[in-house]
Structure 1
């Protein structure tokens, strides 16, 4: 119920539902509310949900990262930095993100900024072309997903080299035009990569299936099956 109300943007009702539950809400319940706050950019409710959530699941790095991303996407850099300091104080470590793709019975693993792949030069050259194509269709990189103190151009470069994009491009290069591209990420898919993948599916005419830590995303003709809620 919390998830359904959250998807509809009825966050106050979702919170009231939690308050009236005859049993103590578990971390999954507060996590559902926090996820809805991310989608609908409700900072006040997100902080409230996170307060209860971190009391129940204080060592789960994913909870901190979700709130961190909410602050980041809303431009609240100071709050994001404070949360990062809190993570360091509690020695909570974010799991390193990676994306895998299987091509011709061989698994290829990519991390952000990865240039270790034998075809790295070709992958980055093709990625540059694809980014140019999706920009023409309206894609604009979401720089809020990069909080490093660097210039705008560097931030864009860092976003382009996310593991999801690298794996997808390798899939495009390594499979026929009718093939479905399937990748798997060990964490929640990046918000900017989610938007970019919608555009990539549109300009290439390819179906792309992404399995992240929360659900499957089926991209086709510029639309994702998750309805941009994950």
Structure 2
């Protein structure tokens, strides 16, 4: 919602929104915990010796509840939600950057699951992310190396029973993975900003055929 607030109410309203978010987070943690803004609308909380996993999940649930309450900005009531990713020092990190990386991976897993979700990091998520990064790279190559094709599905007029038009459906035959389903690569294109190139490719080739 941060971008929407900036675009509709202005950057000063966006700054006040972030200030309110920070205050709500700070109110839910202990004096020994550390709250910091990473950039944009992302915050990090370093929790010191809270206890077991259930205690941390309980804190995350409290944060979800307070962050979901309306925000008053220039006479406008705005609602928002949070995606929370959690990792633990018991994983055995060597640098703070490693901690933030895995918390970020868990956060994106939470975001993919829907609004106001919390996710815990596990090693399989890192492998999934690596696979997604590789697939995004391959999709870029597919656009350049003509690995994509179109399938035309007829649309019938129910009154006459005749073909009225065609729907162009994009297909991807990966040289190693085989057929990659659209349900996999279309969302990937949307997330990685390749959707514009993919749409242009479909329009150009559909018109040519």
Q: Give yes or no for TM over 0.5.
A: no
TM-score (norm 2): 0.32
Q: Relative to total residues, which structure has the larger strand share, 1 or 2?
A: 2
- Structure with higher RCO (Cα < 8 A, 6+ apart): 1
Q: Tell me which structure has the larger Cα radius of gyration.
A: 2
